[in-house]
Structure 1
Amino acid sequence: MTNELYTPRKHQAEIEGSLARFSVLVCHRRFGKTVLSVNRLIKAARSTKRSDWRGAYIAPLYRQAKTVVWDELKRYCGQGSDECTVKFNETELRADFENGARIRLFGANNPDSLRGMYLDGVVFDEVAQMPHRVWTEVIRPALSDRNGWAMFIGTPRGKNALYEIWEKAKADPDWFTALYRASETGIIHPDELAASGREMSPEEYEQEFECSFTAAIRGAYFGQLLADADRDGRVTTIRHDPTMPVHTAWDLGMSDSTSIWFAQAKPGGTYAIIDYYEASGEGLDHYARVLDQKGYKYGTHIAPHDIRVRELGTGKSRLEVARSLGIRFDIAPNIPIQDGINAVRTILSQCWFDQKRCAPGIEALRHYRRSFNDRTANFSTRPIHDWTSHAADGFRYFAVGFRQPDTGRRPSKTSNDYNPFGRKHGRP
């Protein structure tokens, strides 16, 4: 079924003729990927023979879905025309079609709101700004019994969920992948690209218009320090030392994610970050079981200061609940967030990370960044609160809250000569 309101461009038409059940599109800014994907959902909803067909459009944040996609969905459904039979629910951001099909908009910042549903088709927009587990843990199972399809669209922002899905998809013949650079599509006039190149940093231009996964992340707090760790071989395979205690640092979410870093303090002032865990919508009893299952010999557990707050439902603080589960927390000092970020910067050069077990946490640290204030044309003094925040906050509590057992000192800048593998330099 055609949509008279939508005429695909050359590259959009090429894509529509090549899409598979699972497709990944890496496209430059102003390519038209949102229009393309909205119309794919509309076409599927109108042509389905299922009276209970369900489609979803998932943006990083719910407000982004409302701001960027909702008006486009209504427009291409024909809102306001005499022929339009689609009903729009403004409260739920939902389009109900005459044949019983539905399309609804969601935000990936609340993964639990997506659980328990079934889906026939789903679009992930700006995948680089989402946690990868939204796909693997929540949406992929929702497609299984319906043989549903998924389409991932976005512009790179470093090596994150979009990069991971892109790399896996390229190696899978059942997936469709396509990458469109502004220098190749001709959609944006060369003069405009040249002007953008003069006004943007080279890294920004390469990322936004040439779809580079390796360009620097704008406003990242720890990006260069983690690049240094990669270069120095400090993101590698770390062997857990069973003779030494494992310390944990937590960011405790209420309705969203909780993150836990697992670290061993080594002689010479270095730290082996051996593990990372994150989950959403679970109680403290779940995390107590995780600690037991890991089988480590534990030392200090560090929690944020708000763990003392009593919950209305139980009248108990999470500190008290944790004690009843056998977890005795030390409380990180309540200092300004910028001071905590500076503390992380100070100790990152002393840290070695297990590249596999800590992968989600490392990527979050790599992409943790300041927001850009369009009004003042400057970076904000505050970080963006998104999928990176929980891992970054947990590591910040480690940086400000951990005291070395032998000295009582918190982490501080020291020599980086010590290698936690037992050698002075190099990998094991």
Structure 2
Amino acid sequence: MAQIVIPYTPRPQFIPYHERKERFAKIVAHRRFGKTVGCINDKIKAALTNSRQYPPPRYAYVAPTYTQAKDIAWSYLKHYSAPIPGIKTSESELWVEYPNGARIRLYGADNYDRMRGLYHDGVTIDEPAQMDPRAWPEVIRPTLSDYSGWGTFIGTPAGRDWFYKIDLNEDGSPAENFFRLTLKASETGIIKPEELKSLMVGLTEEQYAQEFECSFEAAVVGAYYGRLMNAAEQDKRITGVPYEPTAQVYTAWDLGIRDATAIWFAQVVGREVHLIDYYEATGVDLGHYVRELGNRPYLYAGHIVPHDAQAKELGTGKSRLEVLESLGLKNVTIAPMHRVEDGINAVRTILPRSWFDARKCARGVDALKLYRSEFDDKLQALKPRPVHDWTSHAADAFRYLAMTLDSQIRTPAEMFEPDEDWVV
């Protein structure tokens, strides 16, 4: 085989990654370190040295969105592959194929279902904190099973999300067969000290700790409920929260059409709000959710749905509220019309007395931690509206809960004796 020289010189801190023996890797690196470049070149080498003839080797790079994959990694992949004779490229599908038939393709996690049914010899997931946590276990991880493929996670922290937990067992102990590398700006020497001082001036302490010092403890930039959810963790209010049979259950829904539908299950016990369960799904009809409620052993006090549930659909002439009621859902309450800002403030009022079941509400809890306003890099300021991503569904449902349930709670006696409209 002819020797091929790729125009890439690894940074010393990255050499241990290239020499790793573990199947999985987690790299937490500061901004502008060059982690994407390093991982793209690692993937090129893996593709060129894979000797399997059939089926041909397949490798994937996954960014939070398809546009980001194209903007961030496509030029790197083409540049470092250019010296290799006989390569083929597809600008429309973002793949490079090598003379041995191996192929590297770019994907966006905004459409991770596109990867269902595929096989991969290696996958790099860039900025997993910005992706739907279901993308890895439900879709991407199974693509590695056929040929014992490897997986690498690279990114900067965004609180104690699934990226933080990816290399941990359920009990919090380190998982086996994981290579780990943390690259802080204060330690790598990649960014000059004077430049780091300049960056500190333009960023908050939390932003700098997260983006350049790889801190998972820093509050997520722009997170609406980050501090309150951290307080819930510190107070051990994210724990086992059993169903209390003597208290009725309220559900709060965010009804998706093309997006997911999210449902919180809450009980009011004294001054506390107990979030005992959370459910989310997509691509199913409303009857599915009504059956899910029926499959649980809960005594329901009422169900809160968004104001737009009353809107008539052109296809059926019925509203989703009418459909839910025709399916047997009783005591449905419409959340009051409100500005998003007012709803966020209502959530902030209810969170300090909220308890979450750590297992059943895990996805909802992660969503509340990461629900955030987008940061405008050009203006160096937060945008006025929340980011619409996988966190929105749980956050919106919780907002409807706070706007409606809290208005029912005036005195301890009233908490145990809901208004007649809420009684099953």
Q: Which residue is 2:58 aligned to?
A: 54
User: How far has the Cα of 1:84 moved from its partner?
Assistant: 5.0
CA distance 1:95–1:190, shift in 2 (3 Å): same
Counterpart of 2:398, as a letter, is F
Question: 1:275-294 maps to which residues of 2 (within 5 A)?
Answer: 275-294=277-296
- Contact 1:131–1:161 (Cα < 8 Å) also in 2: no
- Contact 1:120–1:147 (Cα < 8 Å) also in 2: yes
Q: Which residue is 1:128 aligned to?
A: 129
SS in structure 2 of the partner of residue 402 of structure 1: helix
CA distance 1:202–1:120, shift in 2 (3 Å): same
Q: Distance in 1 between matches of 2:113 and 2:255?
A: 16
CA distance 1:103–1:257, shift in 2 (3 Å): farther
Counterpart of 1:55, as a letter, is Y
Q: Which residue is 1:423 aligned to?
A: none
Q: Which residue is 2:15 aligned to?
A: 13
Q: Which residue is 1:391 aligned to?
A: 394
SS in structure 1 of the partner of residue 359 of structure 2: coil
CA distance 1:87–1:336, shift in 2 (3 Å): farther
Question: 1:149-228 maps to which residues of 2 (within 5 A)?
Answer: 149-168=150-169, 171-228=174-231
- 1:18-52 Cα offsets, whole Å, 9 max, x none, are 15221111111122110111122222233332343
Q: Distance in 1 between matches of 2:249 and 2:293?
A: 11
Is residue 24 from structure 1 mapped to residue 26 from structure 2 by the alignment?
Answer: yes
Deviates more, 1:326-335 or 1:233-242: 326-335
Question: 1:247-258 maps to which residues of 2 (within 5 A)?
Answer: 247-258=250-261
SS in structure 1 of the partner of residue 400 of structure 2: helix
User: How far has the Cα of 1:221 moved from its partner?
Assistant: 0.8
Is residue 343 from structure 1 mapped to residue 346 from structure 2 by the alignment?
Answer: yes
Q: Distance in 2 between matches of 1:238 and 1:337?
A: 29
CA distance 1:308–1:22, shift in 2 (3 Å): same
Deviates more, 1:5-14 or 1:195-204: 195-204
Q: Which residue is 2:422 aligned to?
A: none
- Contact 2:167–2:178 (Cα < 8 Å) also in 1: no
Deviates more, 1:251-260 or 1:383-392: 251-260
CA distance 1:300–1:90, shift in 2 (3 Å): farther
State TM-score, norm by structure 1. Answer: 0.86
Q: Which residue is 2:421 aligned to?
A: none
CA distance 1:102–1:205, shift in 2 (3 Å): same
- 1:96-118 Cα offsets, whole Å, 9 max, x none, are 33443332222223333332322
- 1:327-377 Cα offsets, whole Å, 9 max, x none, are 344222332211211221122123222223222211211111111223433
Counterpart of 2:208, as a letter, is Y
CA distance 1:103–1:255, shift in 2 (3 Å): farther
User: How far has the Cα of 1:320 moved from its partner?
Assistant: 3.8
Q: Distance in 1 between matches of 2:89 and 2:310?
A: 44
Q: Which residue is 1:422 aligned to?
A: none
- Contact 2:47–2:59 (Cα < 8 Å) also in 1: yes
SS in structure 2 of the partner of residue 319 of structure 1: helix
In the alignment of these two chains, the number of paired residues is: 406
Is residue 102 from structure 1 mapped to residue 103 from structure 2 by the alignment?
Answer: yes
State TM-score, norm by structure 2. Answer: 0.87
Is residue 400 from structure 1 mapped to residue 403 from structure 2 by the alignment?
Answer: yes
SS in structure 1 of the partner of residue 167 of structure 2: helix
Deviates more, 1:201-210 or 1:224-233: 224-233
Counterpart of 1:278, as a letter, is E
User: How far has the Cα of 1:229 moved from its partner?
Assistant: 2.4
Q: Distance in 2 between matches of 1:114 and 1:285?
A: 28
SS in structure 1 of the partner of residue 389 of structure 2: coil
Q: Distance in 2 between matches of 1:283 and 1:58?
A: 30
- 1:260-298 Cα offsets, whole Å, 9 max, x none, are 111012334x31111112233333333233223322122
User: How far has the Cα of 1:86 moved from its partner?
Assistant: 3.1
CA distance 1:114–1:330, shift in 2 (3 Å): farther
CA distance 1:274–1:126, shift in 2 (3 Å): same
Q: Distance in 1 between matches of 2:283 and 2:76?
A: 32
SS in structure 1 of the partner of residue 388 of structure 2: coil
- 1:88-145 Cα offsets, whole Å, 9 max, x none, are 3333323333443332222223333332322221111011222322111111122112
RMSD: 2.6
- Contact 1:24–1:177 (Cα < 8 Å) also in 2: yes
Counterpart of 1:67, as a letter, is D
Q: Which residue is 2:81 aligned to?
A: 77
Is residue 119 from structure 1 mapped to residue 120 from structure 2 by the alignment?
Answer: yes
- 1:176-207 Cα offsets, whole Å, 9 max, x none, are 11212222222222232233234322222222
Deviates more, 1:338-347 or 1:373-382: 373-382
Q: Which runs of 5+ in 1 are unaligned?
A: 404-408, 419-428
Counterpart of 2:135, as a letter, is V
CA distance 1:317–1:142, shift in 2 (3 Å): farther
Question: 1:294-305 maps to which residues of 2 (within 5 A)?
Answer: 294-305=296-307
User: How far has the Cα of 1:76 moved from its partner?
Assistant: 1.8
Identity over the aligned pairs, expressed in percent? 49
- Contact 1:340–1:400 (Cα < 8 Å) also in 2: yes
Q: Distance in 1 between matches of 2:46 and 2:235?
A: 49
Counterpart of 2:57, as a letter, is W
CA distance 1:195–1:374, shift in 2 (3 Å): closer
Counterpart of 1:286, as a letter, is H
SS in structure 1 of the partner of residue 199 of structure 2: helix
